[in-house]
Amino acid sequence: MNSTRFLSRSLGRYSNAATFLKQQRKVIVNARAFSILSSSTVQKAAIAKFNFLNGPKHYQPNQIRTLKTLDFSGTKENVYERSDWPKEKYQNYFKDDTISILGYGPQGRGQGLNARDNGLNVILGLREGRSWNEAMKDGWIPGKSLFSIEEALKKGTIIFNLLSDAAQKQLWPQIKPHLTKGKTLYFSHGFSIVYKDDTLVIPPKDIDVIMVAPKGSGKTVRTLFLDGRGINSSIAVFQDFTGKAKDKAVALGVAIGSGYLYETTFEREVFSDLVGERGVLMGAIQGLFLAQYEVLRARGHTPSEAFNETVEESTQSLYPLIGANGMDWMYAACSTTAQRGALDWYKPFHDAVKPVFEKLYVSVANGTETRRVLEKNSLPTYREELEKELKEISESELWSAGKVVRSLRPENK
């Protein structure tokens, strides 16, 4: 689609197109963060509020966080909001607890820094190396707030298992003996618990097992917190020994920087997450980009033209608008030529890829995907192989063209 034509049509009603796009980008901070808000009513309300307040710094959470049960196209879902747990309340609730965070990857770092800034008693349990050094740079002090995994397990009453999913399996024999009666085991993914036949992660019966899974990267968990906003998270209880597991999940979810908390189960969280990242979030999108690019190139289009029409226009222009307003709005706002084509062609694309999604779901649900992750991640050559695969993508013509196009953006000059 011709970008200029599209933009002038679709932005005609905004007095300042640049301001509009800037604001839309702020709203669509992270596709995963917003993917859960599939109801256009909820999404529009939240976006209208963001736009009204003109950016994150002025965001007032309580102004739109009043609903407990939201209607998602006829399905009612419980949504917890952070105003239920003001800082003083959770600081008091966890005053006798030590939160031990195992792992300082994106989630360990984002959640750990937020919980520490929110005044909870947080320590880290890490092996020496990359994460340990990173933690020291962030002000965690060896012997005071930074310990070996073993030491942190001894000290913690609430154990955040934020190791990589493969390491959660590997270290389980070391972790399990420290999960004594009444402790809480916290995850940010249903992976280890749901695929217990493969991971062998089976918690003792006399502890609480909960999940807070931020719907976005750990970096976003931190940046949204610093902006005074909050990421959307899923919460779940797998095991409620104390009778307080749900309260703990909600309170900890707020303390680590969540805004809204959506109730789910460990199984639903991990199934949807694994499908999503293999599908529309990353796997399918690269497949679609590549297929379209290859066809355009084979038909004589230049790399820049094929890239612009495939990736640049979608990520820079259309996707943020779809995220902000929905597909119906998008179709209504484009030229009649684009509109007719999109309406006619989404069906064949849907029919072509649906069987692939069905196959993917089965592969997730029966554990094939998990076994592959565990097997690949435990190979000593994993990093080496990964770098090779990523280099192949990076050096492909599609993404090489992307580098040149991106370098022309004003912010990269």
Ligand X SMILES: NC(=O)c1ccc[n+]([C@@H]2O[C@H](COP(=O)([O-])OP(=O)(O)OC[C@H]3O[C@@H](n4cnc5c(N)ncnc54)[C@H](OP(=O)(O)O)[C@@H]3O)[C@@H](O)[C@H]2O)c1
Q: 273 a known binding residue?
A: yes
Binders of ligand X: how many residues, by CB under 6 A?
24
276 forms part of the interface with ligand X (CB under 6 A): no
Report how far apart, in Å, the C-alpha atoms of 80 and of each of 40, 242, 252, 253 are. 19, 20, 12, 10
129 forms part of the interface with ligand X (CB under 6 A): yes
* Range 52-78 burial, b when 16+ CB lie within 10 A, else e: eeeebeebeeeebbeeeebebeeeeee
Q: Contact with ligand X (CB under 6 A): which of 112, 156, 214, 276?
A: 214
Task: Find the shortest distance in angstroms from Cβ 110 to ligand X.
Answer: 8
Interaxial angle between packed helices 266-278 and 336-365, expressed in degrees from 0 to 180 and rounded to the nearest 10: 130
Q: 309 a known binding residue?
A: yes
204 forms part of the interface with ligand X (CB under 6 A): no
Distance CA 210, CA 228 (A): 25
Q: 150 a known binding residue?
A: no
Q: Is residue 58 flagged as an active site residue?
A: no
Q: 8 a known binding residue?
A: no
- Determine how many CB atoms are found less than 10 A away from the CB of residue 48: 12
81-120 residues in contact with ligand X (CB under 6 A) are 103-108
CB-neighbour burial class of residue 260 (10 A; exposed 0-12, middle 13-18, buried 19+): buried
Strands annotated E in 173-303: 184-187, 208-214, 231-239, 258-263
Question: Which part of the chain contacts ligand X (CB under 6 A), choosing from 72-80, 88-96, 128-136, 250-258?
Answer: 128-136
Please name every residue paired with 231 in a beta bridge, in sequence order, or none if there are none.
258
Residue with the closest Cβ to ligand X?
105
Asked whether the beta carbons of 256 and 234 are under 8 A apart, the reply is no
Task: Find the shortest distance in angstroms from Cβ 158 to ligand X.
Answer: 16
Task: Find the shortest distance in angstroms from Cβ 23 to ligand X.
Answer: 25
Distance CA 243, CA 149 (A): 28
Task: Find the shortest distance in angstroms from Cβ 35 to ligand X.
Answer: 13
In sequence order, which ranges of 279-335 are alpha helices (DSSP H)? 283-298, 303-307, 313, 319-325, 327-333
365-394 residues in contact with ligand X (CB under 6 A) are none
Instruction: Label the pairing between strands 231-239 and 258-263.
Output: parallel
164 forms part of the interface with ligand X (CB under 6 A): yes
Task: Find the shortest distance in angstroms from Cβ 210 to ligand X.
Answer: 13
Distance CA 155, CA 139 (A): 19
* Cβ-based neighbours of 200, under 8 Å, separated by 6 or more: 169, 172
Q: Contact with ligand X (CB under 6 A): which of 24, 30, 131, 258?
A: 131
Task: Find the shortest distance in angstroms from Cβ 49 to ligand X.
Answer: 25
163 forms part of the interface with ligand X (CB under 6 A): yes
Q: 294 a known binding residue?
A: no
Closer of 126 and 324 to ligand X (Cβ):
126
127 forms part of the interface with ligand X (CB under 6 A): yes
Distance CA 79, CA 62 (A): 14
Q: Which of 58, 178, 189, 350 is catalytic?
A: 189
130 forms part of the interface with ligand X (CB under 6 A): yes
Distance CA 283, CA 371 (A): 18
Interface contacts to ligand X, rule CB under 6 A: 103-108, 127, 129-131, 162-165, 167, 170-171, 188-189, 191, 213-214, 217-218
Annotated binding residues for Mg(2+): 273, 277, 309, 313
Binding-site residue ranges for substrate = 335
Residue list, annotated binding site: 273, 277, 309, 313, 335
Q: Which sequence positions are flagged as catalytic?
A: 189
